Structure formats: C-alpha cells, structure tokens
Amino acid sequence: MKYIFLFVFFTCSVNAQNVLQDYFSSSEMILLPQTFYPAHYIQLKFKNDTIVALNRKIIEIDSTLLIEIFRNNHIDTVKLARKLDSIKYNAILDFDFIGTDLLLLSSYEIQFYKKSRNYYEHYKTLEFPYLCTQIMVFDSTIICNAFYPTMGNRNDSTICKTIAINTITYEEKLYEYYNPKGLQFINLQPRKIMDANKSKILLSSITKYEIIVYNQGNPIDTLSRVSNFWKQGTSSERPDKDILGDRVPQRNYSGMMDNQDKKSLMSNVSFQGDYIVASWTYPDSIKSKIKYFDVWKMEDNKYFPYLVDMVEIDGFKDLEAKFNPNNFNNGLYYCFNDSCIATVVNLSLPITKQFDEKTNKEVKEINDDNVLENKLRYNLLVRKIKW
C-alpha cells in the first residue's frame, strides 16, 4: 500500500508541472497603430504604471526623421536630432523618460528631447565611448548598460559595463563586470542578459545558469540552480571559446544556430519588483525549444528560488479550447513592472467581446484571414502577475 502511494505521489509530482500562464490574470489588449511594425522594432517600457511603446522604425518626411511613441491610445512623434549615420533602421536602441523629457539611446549617445506642442524636440546629446543597448532612469540617475561585443571592443578585458549618469550634474560613473559565459550567443536575438533596478544590476551568463547581482559595481548575490530542464552543452559543441578576447567571428551564425539547438541558453533576465524572473530555452527537439521560467524572491537582500521550472505553454495549441488572452506566449520581447508583464502578440484585430465565446481555432482563422488581406498589426497584451 505504501509503495502504491509513493508511486502515485511520484507520478503526480512529475506530471504536475507549473505553467507560467496560470500566474497571469485580467489581461488588457491594446491594438497598436499600423505603423508599429514589424514586431522587433517595437520597444516596450512601463512608466508610472502605464505601458509605453516606442516604434524604432524611422520615417523620413521632407528630410526630417521621425519616430513614434504610443501610450494611452495616443501617438506622439519625435523629431530626431540628426541623420544617424549608423544602420538606419536600428539606430534607436532603447528609451526612457526623465519626467516628461524623452531620452533616446542611440549606440554611443543619449539624445534628450522635450515635449513641445506637437513633437518631441531635441535639446541635448550626451556621448560616451561604449556601445550601450539599454537605458533606464531611476530617480536622479540614468543607467546605461553595455554588453554587446563589437569590433571596437575586441581587446577590452570586459565588455559588460554600466554607465551611471547623474541627471542634474551629468557626472558619469563607470562600473565594469566580468564577461558572462557564452557572451557570443548575444548575437542570436532576442536575448536580454542585463537589467537594472535602482542601484542594482543583474547580469546573466548565457550558456550557464548563473546570474550575478551587483550593487554599485560590487557582486552581492549569485543566482544559480540545477534544473532538470537545463541542458548543459559540452565543450565539443561550442563553436567558439567563451572568452571574447579570443576573437569571436562576427557572423558565424550557422555554427551558433546548430549549437543553440543542442543546449539550454538563458534568454531573458529581468527585475520585477522584489523578484527576479529568469527564462531559458530547453532544446526539446531540433527546431523546437521549450521556454522555462524561474522566479527568485528577495528576502534580507538575498534571492531565493520562489517558483521554479514554470513551463510556457503554447496558448493556441489546443484549437478546440476557448480563446483566452491569458494563455498567450510571451512574444519576442516583454517587460515587467512591479505587478504586470507586457508583451506584443500576433493578433491583428481589436479584441472585443465577440471573441469571448470563440475557440482558439475560430480566432486563429479570423486573425489569419485578416493578416493575409491587410497590413500586419499587433496587439499589446498587459497581464497582471499573481505570484
């Protein structure tokens, strides 16, 4: 009897896997403007609990370069400071606000914009010698994170840096970190391995489950755990050495693509209030990767595993099931605030009450027809988190 009980208990434990979407509720769908396309040009950020979407695609009208910002169902236009010489369509990398002023991060500089009546107008540019790809503003500090290897920093001892800029004096402080393992896989996007929360920075390895939390440049905690759903690669599978100083081929994508199909890679690490959310891919079979999520909770300034190995299910897989926006996968990019997660989803129609009674199959058919007949559009999905 005892063995039967143990067998049943074991079987139930194995099958009862945590599903990420079970922790989401009360979703809100907002149809993005038609100009917000394609999805990888859309950058999301919560500001004062409002979700803001930046369309990084640059529009040229009468020699003026414009980009758009969407929030509260309203589009604001930004007149870009000057013609950007770098890759035109990827020139703006991230954004944030100081009060009502807009900050655009463009490779090696921050451009400051003030809201006038109809446009955001440029008033200042701050340059620095590092390729930063993230910008965040906390109180009176601008945080810019750099973790992208370029030809220019091949000989640097470390690529991962934070520039902290005082918003009043513009005084800069530079913090440097050890290069995380598998940094060459940053070329396979989307991938987010750095995040900031006030004075704290987290930096994750890609080929190893190892997230280091820094405060003012000093390591204060290391998040590491063994998961049954983390598949560690062997050294023979690595196309390049993990040390960037040994020159990583810039465009050895085919080797990396083969490689990423064989092992787990960390894909996104983010602060979420007192939590850290980490997600990684598990190579189930060739070309099919399952995404897992862990939530770490802070107690007494240390982080502990709180929810582990949550699997992200394909919300549309069961075609006969009733359509429920909570079940959507997180898209290519997602962001958090203290209580919500926002992502861009492949739905091209405004979601109204008429969808309440429909099945996934019916919604998919309506959506596919709409996509084929019209320009692509996306919905912004904001879900409450209940962990």
Partner 1 sequence: MVVFLLMILVQSLNCTELFDIKGNQVQIKSLGDKYFVVFHSGLSCKDCYISLGKVIDDLEEKKPTYLVTNYSDNVYMRKTIEEMTSNLMNYKQLLFIKKNKTCLTFQESLEKDMSPSMIYVSGDRIISFKFNELFKEGYSESSIKELIINKLKIK
Q: Which CB atom, from 172 or from 258, has the smaller least distance to partner 1? A: 258
**Which residues make up the interface to partner 1 (CB under 8 A)?**
37-39, 251, 253-254, 257, 346, 367-368, 371-372, 375-376
Q: Which CB atom, from 38 or from 152, has the smaller least distance to partner 1? A: 38
List, in sequence order, every residue forming a beta bridge with 102; answer none if it has no partner: 97, 113
The DSSP code for 372 is H
Cβ contact 141:165 at 8 Å: yes
Q: Are strands 74-79 and 119-127 parallel, antiparallel or unpaired?
A: parallel
Min separation Cβ 346 and partner 1, Å: 4
Phi-psi region of 48 (alpha: psi -120 to 50; beta: other; left: phi over 0): left
Min separation Cβ 371 and partner 1, Å: 5
Min separation Cβ 368 and partner 1, Å: 5
- Chain center to CA of 137: 17
Q: Which CB atom, from 221 or from 240, has the smaller least distance to partner 1? A: 240
| Contacts for 13 with CB less than 8 Å, ≥ 6 apart | none
Min separation Cβ 284 and partner 1, Å: 16
Q: Which CB atom, from 118 or from 254, has the smaller least distance to partner 1? A: 254
Min separation Cβ 378 and partner 1, Å: 9
Long-range contacts of 163-169 (CB under 8 A, 24+ apart): 163/128, 163/130, 163/132, 165/110, 165/126, 165/141, 166/140, 166/141, 166/142, 167/98, 167/137, 167/140, 167/141, 167/142, 168/140
Q: Which CB atom, from 144 or from 347, has the smaller least distance to partner 1? A: 347
Q: Which CB atom, from 100 or from 254, has the smaller least distance to partner 1? A: 254
| Contacts for 94 with CB less than 8 Å, ≥ 6 apart | 43, 104, 105, 133, 134, 135
